[in-house]
Amino acid sequence: MTAKSTKLITRLLLGMLLGVLLCILGCIAAVASNTIAGDGEQLPIRSLRVTIDENQREELFDQLRKFAEKHGFKISIRDSGLSDELFVVDMRRDDIKIISRNPFDPRIFRVSFYNKYPALPTSQETVDDLVNDLKAFISEIPNVKITEEN
Query: Superfamily assignment of 46-149 in CATH?
Result: Sirohaem synthase, central domain (3.30.160.110)
Residue 64: what pLDDT?
96
The candidate with the shortest Cα–Cα distance to 70, out of 49, 43, 98, 47, is 98
**DSSP-derived secondary structure for 72-114:** T-EEEEEE-SS-TT-EEEEEE-SSEEEEEE-SS-TTEEEEEEE
The candidate with the shortest Cα–Cα distance to 141, out of 44, 66, 45, 46, is 66
Give alpha helix (H) positions in the chain: 3-35, 57-71, 124-139
Residue 138 DSSP code = H
Residue 96 pairs in a beta bridge with 115
Residue 45: what pLDDT?
94
pLDDT along the chain (150 residues), means of 10: 70 65 51 43 90 91 96 90 77 95 87 93 94 96 91
Residue 78: what pLDDT?
87
The structural domains of the chain, with segments of one domain joined by +, span 1-35, 46-149
